[in-house]
Structure 1
Amino acid sequence: MGADALYYIMDYSGNYYRTNQADQLVAVAGEQDATVFTFAQANSRICVGKKAAFYCMVPLEEKAEDRDAEAVESGEAYEDAFVSPIKELAYDEVSEPVEKNVSSYDLSEIDWAEYLTHFTYLVEGLKDYREQLAKKHSDIEQKICDILHYIELCETNEEEAIDLVELLRVCRENRRDIKDELQRIEYFQNNFGTNMNVAKAKQALKCIKGLETRKYRPRKYDELFENCTLKDKRLQRADIRQMEHGHEIQKQRFVVEPVQKDEGGEETMLEERNITPFDGKENDWLSFARQQAEFYRNAGQYITNLQMDIREIDEEIEETLLEAEDTNCNVTQGYKVFKRLKELRLERKSKSMELDCLYALTDYIDCDALADTCEANLAEVEGLMGVSGQNEVANLQLADSEQEEKLHVVENIKDMVG
């Protein structure tokens, strides 16, 4: 049949169709009232989506008996040409699959699992990306330094001067792009791209993927589900047509997860035991919660203190070396200088290692936000154990004040005796 032929649009109940003012298909009484379509017009209206299973294109010159025979041979007609109203409702309810992607702004089109996977990959790869940018920044700084030293040390003519200015401009623009990208990464990491949010994203991803393997647990009728089969997918248009042609829907055995019943008839899940470092011990959860809260609340300040300590050690090492250069030391004095430098270097090494450990523990973490969470957890644990953290602080302050008063009284007595 040529593509340039003219066609009617019909359904499998034998109804002809025309278009209304809104360009929608409307059933008509007979062939004389139906709209005539070209192949492209008819194809665009009925050969996509769920309409393709409900409508068909009929050439103008084709007879009814030939049309029916062709439909039977092509497998597009049902055994019974009549489509019941319930079947029509079923076709209307079949939803077309939506193409989902990560970058869509339409929430119904977002692939949530892929979105969360993309987020975790992004955050976990930021550290390497930042290091690459930092290396590029160092390279461009060295190039700019070479240009400036060339201008300072070498004779240049007017043409070379113009070329040097252009080279310097390009390098400075590249440097600005790298610094802006580093700044964007810092904003993202400090406000959103934290390890805590990655952990939440992974947990959400795990829950979303769990929807694909979830199973229904009978409330009362266990025996009803013992030998049944469960459909492995939702009913789609292809399933409806297979049922009409006598095909069975693919099924799988319904498996009830093992449960245990006690004397009262209550059911409990059979769980597998795995030994953890906390099993068989008397765990001090109050101290653990307090230590967590104290660490994340003070980690930032402690890092600053360590950085200041390292700078002070470097200054003392430099001063010691300068004194050794300006002084003629004998053997004893030289050994003392060597011993002091060794002590300072070992102390600096110890503090640098501690600082690196803190960086590893706090990198990509919003310590202030985590400290708020840990402090709330600590308050809850204290409430469960009947311990008040504020009372402990008050008692400590009271004990300190009492101790100061006692010392003051002792000093007064000593003054009177004296």
Structure 2
Amino acid sequence: MNPLTRHRKLLENKKVERWYSNLKARSQITSDTYIRNFGLWLEYLNLDPDSIISMARDNFDEFKGAVSDVIRDLEKKGTMGSSISTSLKAVLSYLKFNNASVKLGINITNENRNLKAEKEVIPTKDEIAKVLRIATLRERVSISLMAFTGLRPEVLGNIDGTNGLTIGDIPDLKIKDGKIVYEHMPVQISVRPELSKIRTAYFTFLGPEGSEYLKEYLDARMTSGERLTTKSPVILPIEKQSSEKKNRFLLTTLLLRRIKKTIAKAGFEWRPYIFRIYFGTNLDSAEAKGLISHPWRQFIMGHKGDIEETYTKREGKVDEGREQYSKCLSFIETVEHSKSQGDIKKSVMVEILSLVLGYTQDKIDQLDLDKMSNEDFQNLIKKGLLGNMTGNGTRQKIVSEKEIEQYMNQGYEVFTTLPSGKIVMKLSL
């Protein structure tokens, strides 16, 4: 049911209609949520849009008492304090718009605590994978876009189904000879201002796992006869829905309802929003490891940050973001990918520094191994070995493969092999 259905008649009042339109100019989600909550409070107080203004302005004590009584009654019924506080904001907003601002000064138990959210445990990769396995193609993509890119559900389809993410919002996705191809990986996903909570454009990325789910879903749609264009919704309301239908995009409420059913089918009781929380939490872990900067973490999540004012003006920002996001994939995706040559090289370097030079992890973390050339690394090893020899005499040597036998005869044994192919030998005690 559309959130406005129950209280649609309120819009016949000119004061309400103007207030609603003012809210809608900034956010339709806020406007629809507020009018629903405003209607509920009118029922609680047994007032109408005009009398609530008069009572708040001319008889404040009575108004405050009535509101206080409702709050206490809702608390007794078990309504969360945060929910009461949120719903009351609609009343205060309406009064302020109509020049009847009030400061109630009424305490609400736990108004700043979301008790349900506090009890939530962030899903593990295995749990996310379980949900994805049993999801339909459409729900699998919807969940992936929240869990692997951090998109809010309203981006996929807004509250009335009139706007949402389109194929054209994924610039790396191309359709060539009837096949889905990606020009870059991870895939860039652009969020238009009208879909963004911060009302400014931003972009995020989707890695190999989510991109494969998206490809499977779009392939199935093309097989069924749908002709995909840049204006096609990424998530259809129903399978094979015609673009001539009134709601071209899946309504946010229906999207969340379908995801909720998928979660329940997997045996969990999460809120659908947990997938975005999963993404944000794992980005935090990646940030703590130095894999992504805080400004990029904020930007990809669709928060206001250091990059949002300048990213469209600077060349190379997309590639920079793609590189940082790529480093976080092991924290986000449920499918393990084979290590790149760069990852393998870095692992070898870390092992050598630890075993040969005795570096601690803290000391290794201070080095920028990703940008260190082979020559610089070899010089670092030589310098470290010379330092060791100061205290250890000539207990370690770097030799060629041809010299191994010679030094073994002198009591040395092979310790490790450097990336250059040279051998580190250590004198046996």
> What range describes the TM-score normalised by the shorter chain of this pair?
under 0.3
TM-score, structure 1 as length reference: 0.20
Q: Which has the larger radius of gyration?
A: 1
TM-score (norm 2): 0.19
As a proportion of its length, which structure holds more helix? 1
